[in-house]
Amino acid sequence: MKLISLAFSDKGNIPAKYTCDGVNISSPLTINEAPTDAKSLVLIVDDPDAPGGDWVHWTVFNIDPATTEIAEGAVPSGGVEGMTDFGKSGWGGPCPPASPKSQRGEPSGTHHYQFKVYALDTRLELGSSAKKKDIEAAMQGHILDQTILVGLYQKG
């Protein structure tokens, strides 16, 4: 299974349009070669470089396994958006904080945003209040395949 974006390459820079410095909408994504026996897909976008540890920007589960395109700013077909670390569901774009050590509010460095897609042999029995840890727990033993796309961003 493969995940690509027309907006940025793997380990390439995410355009500001998709961040808190721009329009703050999700970037377009393309999913290729999902297993034909998958019952659903899960998308998790997180930032392992956040000062307090992993920061969740978007979770979507029960995506139609036939989905190959996720349009810019759109929720994938059949998908249920879970809770993010912004305290709400839906996309929350890259928005790295200023370093606490900086007197002038300089960026805390480049962050690596992980766009992860999982193909599952089931649909998840979760509601929209589900957090990443709930989704990951429910996926255990059901992952058929997975892929990752990493985008970089440094607050400008």
For residues 38 and 11, give the distance between their C-alpha atoms in angstroms, rounded to a whole number. Answer: 27
* Torsion of Cα atoms, 21 then 25 then 31 then 35, to 10°: 120
Residue 62's pLDDT is 98
Residue 144's pLDDT is 98
Query: Are the beta carbons of 135 and 72 closer than 8 angstroms?
Result: no
Residue 108's pLDDT is 55
Could you tell me the domains of the chain? 2-153 (3.90.280.10)
Give how far Cα 7 sits from Cα of 14, 25, 53, 106, Å. Answer: 7, 12, 26, 26
What are the helix (H) ranges across 7-150? Answer: 132-139
Residue 51's pLDDT is 83
In the chain, which residues have pLDDT < 70?
A: 98-108, 156
